Amino acid sequence: MFEDELIAIFDRYHYKLSNEQVILFKKYYDLLIEWNEKFNLTTITSQKDVIVKHFLDSVTALSFIPQGSSVLDLGCGAGFPGIPLKIMRPDIKLTLVDSVNKKIMFLDEVITSLSLGNVVAMHARAEDLAIKDAFREKYDVVVSRAVANMSTLSEYCIPFVQIDGVFIAYKSKDWQLELEQSQNAIKLLGGKVCKKVEFDIENNQRCLIIVEKKSKTPQNYPRSKNKPRISPL
């Protein structure tokens, strides 16, 4: 039974779920599986894998998100880590951004079905949104589990972080090399790595890289025309 497995796995990692949170995660799971039959939202579909690799993994950054934070999930895909974070922490104000419209359509359905307040899903590219005053350097916390190297991810994410805010990158076992190669990029963009949190989830090596925003990002970043991916800083 989904609910029992969810509670057991979260409890094993010291996350206590209320009845309401269990209900919301079940609704989210059901919608994910339903929509995944029509659209390719995720290759991870088994009950345990979704609970472990999507839901549990997403909430590992909870302790680094201050109460009442404005949070941007960039390259959110099917809503990870943003939606699980919101289920666990209703106090945060969440913006979900992805460049694939079908994923935003799905997230609009999730937001409505779960009755989530202070959440907006936007179809946009990071480099277009980052040059707008309403979004640039306006967030307390930016999170991303997007599949991109740390240099590329930093160029997309750090411009959205306000001074003294943080960018949290979810990374796997190869994080050390990525971080080493991204040091110049992070500094150039106004960031400083303040913490690296390594942990293991059901034999999956994970790391949260936490970058604090120390100074304003130069106006010419992020670069357009996919340059952060093609030619990382």
Q: How far is CA 227 from CA 105, 121, 213, 222, in A?
A: 27, 25, 22, 9
d(CA 115, CA 185): 39
- pLDDT for 205 equals 93
Interval 150-181: pLDDT, tens: 999 999 999 999 999 999 999 998 899 999 99
- pLDDT for 147 equals 77
- pLDDT for 82 equals 98
Reduce the DSSP state of residue 222 to 3 states and report it. coil
d(CA 23, CA 8): 15
* Average pLDDT per consecutive 10 residues, the chain (233 residues; last block may be shorter): 97 97 98 94 94 97 98 97 98 97 97 98 96 97 92 97 98 91 96 96 94 97 93 91
d(CA 50, CA 44): 6
- pLDDT for 173 equals 83
- pLDDT for 174 equals 85
- pLDDT for 53 equals 95
d(CA 213, CA 193): 9
Structural domain harbouring 68: 2-230
- pLDDT for 146 equals 80
CATH code, domain carrying 188: 3.40.50.150
What is the count of structural domains for the chain? 1
pTM of the full structure: 0.96
- pLDDT for 46 equals 94
